[in-house]
Amino acid sequence: SHVLASFISTKVVVVHRKVMNYEHLHAGYHNKGLRVMQEADSVISPHNLMYPLFITEEVDAKEHIDSLPENYRLGLNQLVDFVAPLVENGLHSVLLFGVVGADRKDEKGSFADDDENQVCKGVKLLKETFPDLVVACDVCLCTYTSTGHCGIMQSDGYFDADASAQRIADVALAYAKAGCDIVAPSDMMDGRIHFIKKTLEDAGMSNKVAVMSYSAKFCSCFYGPFRDAAKSAPKEKKDGEKENALIPKDRKRYQIPPGSRGLAMRAVARDVQEGADMIMVKPGMPYLDMVRDCKNEYPHLPLAVYQVSGEYAMIYHGATAGAVDLKEAVFESITAFRRAGATIIISYYTPRLLTWLKE
């Protein structure tokens, strides 16, 4: 009994010590300096931020986007004046999207790499004016196709796979020749990274432009305001047109199902194998688990996350309604991306963040 009592006493002491150690966690973050040390891996700097810009054909336009408050469709004559104060405030990188009218759209998205394309002109203008600004170009066909889909759609409602991937590669090459630093294919066509890399190599540009792949792009309801901004939603038939019931009205056949971790990681693995220089998860907040999975699997690759338009609007309107504090909510969301492993954060809040980071 004496031995048993001694054993029980020893165990109680051990358990008591463990509890005491856990109870004193507060010692490690009880003041601001200590808290900064605890969050070192989640620090946010301007170099982490990339700002999406919409460039429209109307050269003098500065059109407010109602569904995306504080953001605009900009014409080329407005672009420099809009970007200049942001660069002065620390803006490091931008992501360009083209916006065109219905008269520019056809089945193959021909205007995407046309000599008159405003994205190509915008790249040249930005690089001439701000040579140190990192300019990325979204590479997709949805803005430029009459179907509103991201590849070349066949009459049976499926893509011509190789033709679609090659079109994406041709557009990427046009942006590369214009002088961009990064091409960012968002189309989700099978094999497009391979086609882009091969096309760049054949043109002698394989070492002059990086490829940031939208690798894990999920089929999400949070893209709504963007599709309004870019006029890129899948198209309904026009009056007088014969509807092809086989053409899908959504992008479920090629964007990843929201619940599929396996498909997402296979898509990322494919893009890495084909030569992607950077990978991306999109959207952001609902897919933080995928951000961490990608970081764990590919720790040495730059990892981007896109805080998409619906996420932006949700926080913005929540703050407008008084449900959350805007600054605190934005910083918490951006910190979550950094904590999950993202090194590049594409956000419509970038202008505000650049100012807030200096406060």
In this predicted model, what pLDDT tens digit does every residue of 94-117 receive, in sequence order? Answer: 999 999 998 999 989 999 999 899
* Count of H-run helices and E-run strands, the chain: 12, 10
Cβ(334)–Cβ(44) below 8 Å: yes
Q: Which two tokens stand for residue 186?
A: 């968002």
Residue 257 DSSP one-character state:
P
Contacts of 5 (CB under 8 A, 6+ apart): none
78 vs 189 pLDDT, higher one = 78
**Coil, strand, or helix at residue 134?**
strand
Q: Shortest CA distance to 47 belongs to which of 320, 302, 327?
A: 302
Strand locations in 124-268 (E): 134-139, 182-185, 210-217
pLDDT at 57 exceeding the cut of 70: yes
The DSSP bridge pattern shows strands 278-282 and 210-217 to be parallel
41: CB partners within 8 A, 6+ apart: 338, 339
Percent of the chain with pLDDT over 90: 71
- Residues 195-213 have a mean pLDDT of 96
Which residue has 């969050």 as its token pair? 39
| Helix or strand run (H / E) with residue 281 | strand 278-282
Put simply, whether the predicted model's pTM sits higher than 0.85 gets the answer yes
Distance, in Å, from the CA atom of 224 to the CA atom of 314, rounded to the nearest integer, reads 11
Active site positions, annotated? 217, 282
